[in-house]
Chain A
Amino acid sequence: MRHRSWVSVLAVLVAATACSSGEATQNGKTELTIATFNEFGYEDLLKEYEAAHPDVKLTQRKTGQGAPHHQNLFTKLGAGSGLADIEAVEEGYLSQVMDKASQFNDLKEIGPNVDNRWLKWKTDAATTKDGKLIGYGTDIGPLAMCYRKDLFEKAGLPSDPEAVKSLFATWDSYFAAGDQFIAKSGGVAWFDSASQVFNAMHNQHELGYFDKSDKLVVESNPAIKADWTAVTNAVAKGQSAKLVAWSNEWNSGFKAGAFATKTCPSWMLGVIEAQAGPENKGKWAVTEAFPNGGGNWGGSYLTVPKQGKNAKKAAELAAWLTAPEQQIKAFKAKGTFPSQVQALKDSALLEQTNAYFGDIKAGALFAAQAQKVAQAQYKGPKDGQIQENVFSPALQSVEQGKSADEGWKTAVAEAQKVAK
């Protein structure tokens, strides 16, 4: 009997604490939280929404970098509580989130009708095999090619944005131009880092590391080995500057002019401008071409985890935030490139120019590139990790002197370990 009374006391205590914390309403207002990272450009939009919906109170939880934001997300997913009503998810982490789709609301079920709002590949990537929509698209990072005009000229390559398009027609022509370039560049490399090229190539295929039954196909998918061979060959010839993306060294590489081309999502223009600095103004250019068509790197989704108590209202807010009109405002505020079909036709986007890149109409250029993306590659449950933690390091090890064969064997073994 004593034992039971203890249990009941505990239960009361737990219930009391749970009550004091879990309430999401205050003075009859519904409180909604939205967790984002980096800059989504939502600050003014949230105020606007509050003004239009007096019964809703919004709080934004901002994290600076993507990594801690997603770690936070997965921690609270594991703990079973604490997630915001709306959680932003970056494309690189999407495969892990899709793998846990049961923890998130099907937005088709609880949200308003927003069919055909986004580019098809953007929506497809966030749709499960059984047709559930896990996230509303926010922004994207359509890929184009950035290159150093002055270095191209020095090496005897064409440098005009129209003329270079033929160099960037296919990956074969890209690597062939690289050979031509390094023959005369005097030590300057063709691209920054092997994994930056490999990932772009890889994501153009319809199937990647997994087949649609989620079986790992690293060894049996010939496209992967072909890409690997092409990139490691280029490395062996000296085309890579061997700089780890986002490292201090990589930053310095922009300024030092250590490489001549860069796979360039829309948001990369700002990175190049900041790292290369004013003294290199006019040297960098961007062209409306990307080898083998189009590609995408980056961009996010808004998800509504099942932990939240106000899923319907959260979905309503998320749908509003990702509507074309709002996304254009976010674009104006922070430059997040829209994924919505209507927004891609907006004049504010199409007229946008970039002074650092010779006043080019960057908005229109990347909007055109976005249309060239053929499809969303099917992503298996551990896809993001295999890209980030297996293939990128393996390519880096080849750049550091390991043989391409050895590197491939390691990559296959590690991929199998991760996928298990």
Chain B
Amino acid sequence: MKRPSFVVYGVLAAFVLGSAFPFYWSYLVASRDNSVLTGDFTLIPGGNFFANAARVFDTIPFWKALGNSFIVSGTVTLSVVLLSALAGFAFAKLRFRGRGVLFLFVVATLAVPTQLGIIPLYMAMAEFGWAGELEAVIVPNLVTAFGVFWMRQYLVDAVPDELVEAARMDGCSLWRVFWHVALPAARPAAAMLGVFTFMQSWNDFLWPLVVLNADNPTLQVALEKLQSGYYVDYSLVLAGTTLATVPVLVVFLVLGRQIVAGVMQGAVKG
């Protein structure tokens, strides 16, 4: 296949530049002061970043919050991907009584706006004794209807029915069919669902704010404290968000190859 022309590279470069700009811009403000935002527009970073970063570390329990966020988002992502693939596989490939009704139920729950849920959910968590604990942020998110729907849709096409039939004739347990056939085939969808779930959980603010205590926050809850005071010091806030984005970027860069490869791998029809 021949190499594409420079026009293609040009368009893509423009797109990636647009994608990367907010990261640079956050660093820019964090390395200067508020004035960048109120008229003194510039693209050259200043020398305040480390001073602002130091203030972030003084103001909030950054490392603890970072650890909590990784625990929460990591657990949630792993669980959502695995359990969604499992249920998605069953809905896509297995025949059982009530399948249609149950799946309809899953899809229906997708359509429920979640914003109202925080009041009853808080009541439930308080009842379980989890108010203030990380469990309260993790457990309600261990499964998502979206995940099940997503994996089901993907697996319908990705795993041929004959294959499941054949494996069953062979006496393979369905669990093994799932583990050795469906799960590997689901890798591309799983990768996308993983990225989606991780970021969703990472950015979640309202619920963790309500249910967690100040001394045991996730990163977003901790970062909110940088906005105290009668005016918002954006250089401090953006220093905080930059510091919080770096670990995600690193994970993204390290795993990105795998993620992108995962997305593409299944796509090459043999």
Binding site for B on A (CB under 8 A): 14, 17-18, 20-21, 37-39, 59-65, 68, 71-72, 75-76, 78-82, 248, 251-252, 254-256, 267-268, 270-271, 274-275, 277
Q: A64-B227, A65-B227 are in contact. Are A21 and B129 (CB under 8 A)?
A: yes
Of A61, A65, A82, A252, the contact of B126 (CB 8 Å cutoff): A82
How many B residues face the partner with a CB closer than 8 A? Answer: 30
Identify A62's interface contact among B120, B123, B131, B228, CB under 8 A: B228
- Chain B residues near A63: list those with CB within 8 A: 209, 214, 224-225, 228
Chain B: CB-nearest residue to A40: B228
Expressed in whole angstroms, the Cα–Cα distance for A124 and B122 within the complex equals 34
List chain B residues, Cβ under 8 A from A268. 230
Report the bound CA distance from A274 to B214 in whole Å: 27
- Choice from B35, B228, B233 contacting A277 with Cβ under 8 Å: B35
Chain B residue at minimal CB-CB distance from A334: B229
Q: Are B123 and A81 in contact (CB under 8 A)?
A: yes
Interface string of B59-75 (1 = CB under 8 A from A): 00000000000000000
Given B37, B129, B209, which contacts A248 in the complex, CB threshold below 8 Å?
A: B37
How many A-B pairs fall under 8 Å by CB? Answer: 97
The reply to whether B228 and A255 contact each other, CB–CB distance below 8 Å, is: no
Chain B interface residues toward A at CB < 8 A? 34-35, 37-39, 118-120, 122-123, 126-129, 131, 206, 209-210, 213-215, 224-231, 233
CA–CA, A195 and B34, complex, Å: 25
Q: Do B123 and A79 touch across chains, with their CB atoms under 8 A apart?
A: yes
With A38-B228, A65-B228, A72-B210 as known contacts, state yes or no: A17 contacts B127, CB within 8 Å. yes
Taken together as a complex, chains A and B put the C-alpha atoms of A18 and B231 apart, in Å, by 41
Give the Cβ gap from B206 to chain A, nearest Cβ, in Å: 8
Given contacts A252-B39, A271-B231, contact A18 B226 (CB under 8 A): no
B229 touches A39 (CB 8 A): yes
Contact A68 B131 (CB under 8 A): no
Complex interface: chain A residues within 8 A of B233 (CB): 274
By CB atoms of chain B within 10 A, which of A79, A81, A248, A267 has the most?
A: A79
A82 neighbours in B (Cβ, 8 Å): 122, 126, 131, 210
From B38, B127, B128, B225, give the contact of A64 (CB < 8 A).
Answer: B225
